């Protein structure tokens, strides 16, 4: 149980285009989903918290107009990187939890490797 | 906000030896401390977690200890095996932060034959 998928696993795009990444909880309903960014050999940096049916909460320094997050259902959240540039190249990972309490486990997706040319 | 420090950044042990990774956190109200294992290019996987009302938890070769007074927690892996080689991240969740986790900087563990 507690399986989270992400699609696509890898994407290469041209500078200036937009890329959408999907995060799905396959066998549970995820009230909350999180989007992280991870640079090579670095830790996970939280970008935003996504709650179903409401606006995402972005971390300080993360541009909400550049990283659009939608959590339209209890099993799907999407991250759209708009007008992507080479510096946006990174490993993007989502996680999902069933509730909003302080002790709910986060389960991670397999990640999406984004390369912007 | 919450700050989590993790040491060491790299750790090399011989197969069969024990490995210990330590983390400290800044917010005394933190109440949940998971540990994740991440292999290269893969997702972080939860290996063990501990809540603030418990001082120690063990699962086969893996154990976690928590010292709330000192605000630090540690991961202990006994009888290490080559497949334990990976990056390990500690994390902390502080009360009032919703369900957010703050991650440590990671420890690259290498188990040598």
How close B82 comes to chain A (CA, Å)? 20
Please tell me the predicted confidence (pLDDT) of residue B22.
Answer: 98
Q: Which residues contact A96 (CB under 8 A, 6 or more apart)?
A: A4, A23, A25, A28, A30, A32, A33, A34, A77, A106, A107, A109
Nearest CA in chain A to B32: A103
Please tell me the predicted confidence (pLDDT) of residue B35.
Answer: 97
Nearest CA in chain A to B29: A102
How far apart CA A7 and CA B84 sit, in angstroms, is 28
- Using 50, 70 and 90 to split pLDDT, how confident is the model at B39? very high
Mutate to test the interface with B, among A48, A102, A110, A111 (most CBs of B within 10 A): A102
β-strand pairing of A67-73 with A76-81 = antiparallel
Token reading at B69: 């007074």
Q: List, as ranges, residues 28-47 from A with C-beta within 8 Å of B.
A: 32, 34, 41-44, 46
- Using 50, 70 and 90 to split pLDDT, how confident is the model at B29? confident
pLDDT in tens, B53-105: 889 999 999 999 999 999 999 999 999 999 999 999 999 987 766 678 999 99
Q: Is B67 on the interface with A (CB under 8 A)?
A: no
Please tell me the predicted confidence (pLDDT) of residue A97.
Answer: 87
Burial category of A96 from C-beta neighbours within 10 Å (exposed 0-12, middle 13-18, buried 19 and up): buried
pLDDT in tens, A8-50: 999 999 999 999 999 999 988 888 899 999 998 899 999 999 8
Write down the residue that tokens 């005394």 correspond to.
Answer: B28
Nearest to B61 by CA among B18, B12, B112: B18
């Amino acid at each position: 149980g507690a399986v989270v998928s992400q699609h696509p696993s890898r994407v290469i795009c041209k500078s200036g285009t937009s890329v959408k990444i999907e995060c799905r909880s396959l066998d549970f309903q995820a009230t909350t989903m999180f989007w992280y960014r991870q640079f090579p050999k670095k830790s996970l940096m939280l970008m935003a918290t996504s709650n179903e049916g409401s606006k995402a909460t972005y971390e300080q320094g993360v541009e909400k107009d550049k990283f659009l997050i939608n959590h339209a259902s209890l099993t799907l959240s999407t991250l759209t990187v708009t007008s992507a540039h080479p510096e946006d190249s990174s490993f993007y990972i989502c996680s999902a939890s069933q509730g909003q309490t302080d002790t709910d486990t986060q389960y991670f997706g397999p990640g999406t490797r984004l390369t912007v040319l | 906000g919450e700050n989590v420090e993790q040491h060491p950044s790299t750790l090399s042990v011989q197969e069969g030896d024990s490995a210990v990774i330590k983390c400290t956190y800044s917010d005394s109200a933190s109440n949940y401390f998971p540990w994740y294992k991440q292999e290269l290019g893969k997702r972080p996987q939860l290996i063990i977690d501990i809540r603030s009302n418990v001082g120690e938890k063990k699962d086969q070769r893996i154990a976690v200890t928590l010292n709330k007074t000192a605000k630090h927690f540690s991961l202990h892996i006994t009888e290490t095996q080559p497949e334990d080689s990976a990056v390990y991240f500690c994390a902390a969740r502080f009360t009032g932060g919703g369900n957010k986790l703050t991650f440590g900087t990671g420890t690259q563990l290498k188990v040598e034959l």
